[in-house]
Amino acid sequence: MFAKLLIANRGEIACRVIATARRMGIATVAVYSDADADARHVELADEAYRIGPPPARASYLRIEAILDAAQRAGVQAVHPGYGFLSENAAFAEACAQAGIVFVGPSPSAIRAMGGKAESKALMERAGVPLVPGYHGAAQDEATLRDAARRIGYPVLIKASAGGGGKGMRVVLDDAEFCSGLAGAQREARASFGDDRVLIERYLQRPRHIEFQVFADTHDNVVHLFERDCSIQRRHQKVIEEAPAPGMAVELRARMGEAAIAAARAVGYVGAGTVEFIVEDGAFYFMEMNTRLQVEHPVTEFVTGLDLVEWQLRVAAGEPLPVLQAALAMNGHAIEARIYAEDPARDFLPSVGTLTHLQAPEPSASVRVDTGVRAGDAISANYDPMIAKLIVHGTDRAESVRRLMSALGRYEVAGVQTNLRLLRGIVAHAAFVAAELDTGFIHRHAATLLASPPEPSPAVVAAAVVALLEIQVAGWPDPWAEADSWRLNLQSWQAIVLRGAGGDISVRARRHADKVLILRDGLTQTVHTHREGSRLRLRAGGASHVVTVLRDDSRVTVIEGGETFVFDSVDRLAPPATVAAGAGRIVAPIPGRIAAVLVAAGANVVRGQPLVVLEAMKMEITLSAASDGIAAIVRCSVGEMVEEGRELVEVTAA
């Protein structure tokens, strides 16, 4: 076994690999960009080496920088994690040339499965079912468009070298084809340095089911059963579970055999995932990921195995610890990915500092994989995933209940998150009934992406208490208070809380450990007790515990996992100047300009794409809010822009 291991990655997967290596007595080496100098994975590793500035292409994608760190540290092996260089055959070859073991498959296997078109041709020869489509070498627009017409709309354009939903577009008709192709090629080129695509028939309500496979150098190949990854947004998985609900024994056997056949067809070694689309009892090969998957913890929960340990043992030349006949599943596991993003704004990533982060307590049935801590920043340079929350139960019903409970105890402040969306999915009757397919979120969007609930009286009271800075020890010194206290008069203070749902006006005054709140003609007496950020409120015979965070005039209250943000409004302040918004196209987050689709002076119509911004491993298309003329274009391709930067000014025609 290796004495020292370098993890060529960051975030939660680097932390995950470090945990297993430490348990196995293997010393660990981290690498970091300037943005990650104080990151959690750097803190956990035994050693760490700088590899470059924040952009991934200047650090985590620099093969020479990572190998230099590996040689300086004297490691015997490199674990690539997932993403970045994990499926890069050139990196695997460079490791071998440097005398370092790459914890993964051979370069030839990576190449064979790395190109979706090539892998599908290989699978066809191996007898694995394929979705009807075009996987040819010709990549000119005319050939690809003709192929789409032959296949029949709707079609799915996919980056040949892709993964993680990058470089993927659904095209509903011929009129959308050219723009969809250009977008997929552009995103593929930016994400993978390869703009080749393939085209497949777009199945209407498929399930996404994948099989975990493992192979060693002793000709042993097994599958560790399936995962259902149908709950997706932007073609990226959000919730995954094992086993797949309703999976028939006979279908599992056939799909498992196909997955093993796929691995054998390329002489595979290590951990891999064979992904299938399933519809109406038929399954089709989609792709093979030649690495560990983000969702591997659900397989670990139901099998009781450590897949990273298996990876390391196989890479060290050992045989698989368990063969197929001895493998079995126990119970049900579900994973939810917690992202810094705003689902109400088409899942736009959210950048900022994690001012508060509280996860459920880990246990035998609850696991949290994360690479961040309170105080860390979510930047535009990397994927916006905060954590993975994984639960296990004796059956699916128990697992769903545990996940719902755990999501209610997960608290994040400082950035927008998808926590409310996740709670909505898990509580939805269709999810509880296991009515799953890849269009789940889109089909139930009216419910899942509905406006947030109105703040409860307890939430309003907590925000008022925070603004009054209640002191539970006794009377404060009135001469030191910056409130509305007056000699010989009761000290009532007018407060206006501005939240997502509008303004809330109250009058309040405090006395020892209680606060009187006057709202809509009714007075509420609230007794309080604070311990750090936790505030216990007792009013009207009911008791509530909430989290309260104050940053100057902004208050964040978290109740039952729901986050409410209020700004205290100064009624005497002059009104803020409102800039013309409808005609200004601004960058919603920091990023790189991937495409400028309009020239100065051109006529534009409402909804017309004007600029494509690349940030956090995804593309964001910015469109015109109204008809008019693109009077000024203030950006160019390749330029880095900050949040709020004006990119295009549209004036009335």
Q: How far apart are CA 472 and CA 487, in angstroms?
A: 23
What is the helix (H) or strand (E) element at residue 224, kind and residue range? strand 221-233
Q: Are 77 and 100 in contact (CB under 8 A)?
A: yes
Q: Decide the pairing of beta strands 584-586 and 562-568.
A: unpaired
Q: How far apart are CA 455 and CA 351, in angstroms?
A: 25
| Positive/negative CA dihedral, 517, 518, 519, 525 | positive
* Residue 475, pLDDT score: 43
* Residue 577, pLDDT score: 43
DSSP string, 291-339: S--TTHHHHHHHH---HHHHHHHHHTTPPPSS-GGG----SEEEEEEEE
- In the chain, what are the domains? 4-103 (3.40.50.20), 132-201 (3.30.1490.20), 344-431 (3.90.600), 457-568 (3.30.700.40), 584-651 (2.40.50.100)
Q: Are 223 and 256 in contact (CB under 8 A)?
A: yes
Q: Decide the pairing of beta strands 77-79 and 4-7.
A: parallel
Please calculate the CA angle 621-385-270 and round it to the nearest 5 degrees.
Answer: 110
Q: Is 345 part of the annotated catalytic residue set?
A: no
Low-confidence stretches of the chain (pLDDT < 50) are 470-476, 576-581
Residue 217 to residues 20, 80, 244, 455, 512, Cα–Cα distance (Å): 22, 19, 29, 59, 72
Q: How many CB atoms lie within 10 A of CB 8?
A: 30
- Radius of gyration of the chain from its Cα atoms, rounded to whole angstroms: 27
Q: Give 409: exposed, middle or buried? Use CB within 10 Å, 0-12, 13-18, 19+.
A: middle
DSSP string, 433-470: TT---TTHHHHTHHHHTPPPPPPPHHHHHHHHHHHHT-
Q: Decide the pairing of beta strands 356-358 and 221-233.
A: unpaired
* Catalytic-labelled residue, pool 207, 291, 396, 402: 291
The pTM score is: 0.84
Q: How far apart are CA 472 and CA 488, in angstroms?
A: 23
* Residue 578, pLDDT score: 39
